[in-house]
Structure 1
């Protein structure tokens, strides 16, 4: 499964019955709840990174990516838009890009 496949699955759950899937439940609770869940998962990934547990970090990173995409979908931001933004930064150094914000 690619990230695009996952994002398309998440998008397909936007109007699904909330009792039919976890993604539909999250989306039904609104963008704020989706953002909260993303934050929780990000903190869990940070904790595992600090601990140095590679397997748990890998698992938490997958959760972070999933919840990031749910949060994006809740606010109607597409994965393509994020990829386009990343591509626009590719020709800049990280230092220059940060300075331009």
Structure 2
């Protein structure tokens, strides 16, 4: 099992704990449970924030910050997958399939700007 799969298992266990009422968000200090308690809008907001922070770190050529922001973004994407009941294995399957493609450069439309 790789780090992403392990992290997704933790996210899923927190989701189960939250849904089963096994955790008090305030006393347990579980950020993941907190996100589930706030719902989809909060999770989507955090995904957007982390995406923006990733872009800024890249534009600043700050790889130290960039790796941390990418990790934050990946975590929040996993929380979103869990919220949407989308197994991480399905995301990995898409990535695996894409990695097998050769010569998949997208063809762009030629637009005649003179007409």
TM over 0.5: yes
Find the aligned partners of 1:64 and 1:94 in 2 and give their Cα distance: 26
SS at 2:105 equivalent: helix
Segments of 5+ residues of structure 2 without an aligned counterpart are 107-115
Provide TM-score, normalisation by structure 2. 0.76
The higher radius of gyration belongs to 2
Q: By how many angstroms is 1:32 displaced?
A: 2.0
Taking CA–CA contacts closer than 8 Å with sequence separation of 6 or more, which of the two structures ends up with the larger relative contact order?
1
Provide TM-score, normalisation by structure 1. 0.86
Find the aligned partners of 1:32 and 1:94 in 2 and give their Cα distance: 34
Match of 1:34 among 23, 26, 43: 43
Segments of 5+ residues of structure 1 without an aligned counterpart are 97-101
| 2:78 corresponds to | 69
In angstroms, what is the RMSD of aligned CA positions?
A: 2.0
Q: By how many angstroms is 1:33 displaced?
A: 1.3
Find the aligned partners of 1:54 and 1:85 in 2 and give their Cα distance: 27
Q: Higher mean Cα deviation, 16-25 or 55-64?
A: 16-25
**How many equivalent pairs are there?**
98
